Structures are given as C-alpha cells and as structure tokens.
Amino acid sequence: MAGDKNGDTQSFLRMARDLFRSFAYGGAPKGARRPRVGLALAGGFARGIAHIGVLRVLREADIPIDVVAGTSVGALIGAAYCSGASLEMMERLAHETKFTDFGRWSPSWLGLATNHRLEEFFARFTTVKRFEELQKPLAIATTDINMGLPVYFYGGLIGPPLRASCAYPGLFVPVKFEGRTLVDGFLAALVPVEGTFLLGAELVIAVYLEAGSVDEPRTFTDVLSRSFNIIQKHADLEWRQHADIIIEPDVSPFVWDDFSKTAELVRAGEEAALKALPAIRAALDSKTVAPTE
C-alpha cells in the first residue's frame, strides 16, 4: 500500500517536472537576469503541511526560491526549509506530530497553553538557532498585540520569534520578546508578502490556506479557530494585490489539528502548485531582465 502511494507521488512529481520543462528557460537570452523570487507561506496549523507539497513541486520543477517569509506554521516550515532540512524528513516528522510536541496545557488568564516546547520541536529539523546560520534568508511574521501591527524578524535568535508567530491568541500565551508582547503573525500578516519584500524579493509566490468546515465545532479551540477564520474572510486582503502568483491548496476538508492526514495535505499542496506552474513561468519570464549590449 505504502509502495503504491510512493509510486503515485513519484509519477505525479515527474509529470510536474515535465510540464514545467515544457516552458523551459531556453528562450531566455544568455546572461539574462531573473528576478529575486520570494515565497510567502501562510499559517493554518496542521493544514500548513500542504506547504511541503508546494515546496516539493517547486523543487522538482527547478523553480528558484531566493527568500522566504512565513506566518505561524508557515514560519516553522519556512525555517526548516531555509535551514536545509529535507522535505522528506519534514513530511515524516509532520506525520508523527502531536499537540504535546509543541504545546503544554497550562490554563492562565492569557491563554490555555504555552508553546515553549516549539523550540525543542524545531531542533528535530536542524541544529540552526540563528537567522544568520540559515542557507536562505527568512523573515518570520509576528503581531504586536499592543500596537496591532506586524513585526518581522530576520536576524538573531529564531526560537522566540518562531514561538511568537505560532502563538494563536486565546490558545497560546503571548510571547514577550525584545520589549514587545507578540502573538500569531496571521492577525497582521495573514500571508507575509511584505516580509519577502523586506528581504529583497522582486517576484512573490504566495501560498494561502483557506480553512473551511461544515462540521459542528467540537471544542473551544474549534470555536476560536472558526471565529478567526470568519474575520479573515472579511479582512483586508491587500496582500493579494502584491503577490505575483497565489497558490491555494484545497485544505478545506481538514481540521486544524489533524496531523494524521499528512499524506493527503502534502498531495493537496502538490496539486495546487502543479496547476500554478505555467503562471509562475510566465511571471518569471516577464520579470527577467535581458542583458545589456
């Protein structure tokens, strides 16, 4: 059974690679300068596993990624990717993940749990601890809950900003860091396109994970999550105007904490990225600068 799934995945990726290469770079003049490509990864708890599928198709299709910005789980996967962790290891660890790997129930006036364990969880992917050690530049989006503004981190320690970016309001206690009280980046940077610009991106591929479920809420966290999802649907979506390409995996059938659906979530990311490949190629071509005589 597992062998069949692996074979299906390999065939799917070969098809993605072949499709992309039908739009090969051969038409670009020698010495042409391509744009600096940024990847903006949205949050979504377990649904964020779809990012792994997106990254896999981009890798197989030889799409260059120069800088990454991430919000919440997008920050976690972005940090692991920029550290050099393999997508295969990321998928394996995602399948094994449970809430207690990164959260500890500890009810207080500020939240139901703490996420100090997230730093230890990140250490399963890499020994990297500082932004400067990463193989690719990364910006992590957080929200200053007092100012109501996005705060991006792209230097110094990775751990505290990562925890802050994943500190879902009401569920996790806010993170105090560098004189600020920080919570989940999705509040002020739903899809952190701005973060890629801070790192010099000239072309931005954004990955958005829209949650949706027709099932009745099961727990307090379901109610909280649904409430924020409704706010997001009616929020300012200015980020869409600044992204060159938007990839939207269909993650609506999946609940926020269902890590057991890792294979299906990865496939959702692969399918959405495959569909976006022609548009990505066209965007790259349109922003490629011909060499001067």
Catalytic residue among 66, 144, 184, 244: 184
Mean pLDDT of the chain: 86
4 is catalytic: no
* Mean pLDDT (whole number) for 24-45: 77
| Tens digits of residue pLDDT in 253-273 | 887 777 889 999 999 999 999
What is the reported pLDDT for 275? 97
| Tens digits of residue pLDDT in 225-252 | 666 665 666 565 778 899 999 999 999 8
10 Å CB burial of residue 291 (0-12, 13-18, 19+) is exposed
Residue 205, strand partner residues? 39, 245
| Tens digits of residue pLDDT in 158-198 | 999 999 999 999 889 999 999 999 999 988 999 999 999 99
Higher per-residue pLDDT: 203 or 14: 203
What is the reported pLDDT for 219? 65
Question: Residue 127: CB partners within 8 Å, gap ≥ 6?
Answer: none
What is the reported pLDDT for 49? 95
Q: Are 36 and 283 in contact (CB under 8 A)?
A: no
Q: Which residues of 11-27 are buried (b: 16+ CB within 10 A; e: fewer)?
A: ebbeebbebbeebeeee
What is the reported pLDDT for 8? 55
Catalytic residue among 72, 83, 165, 225: 72
What is the reported pLDDT for 231? 63
144 is catalytic: no
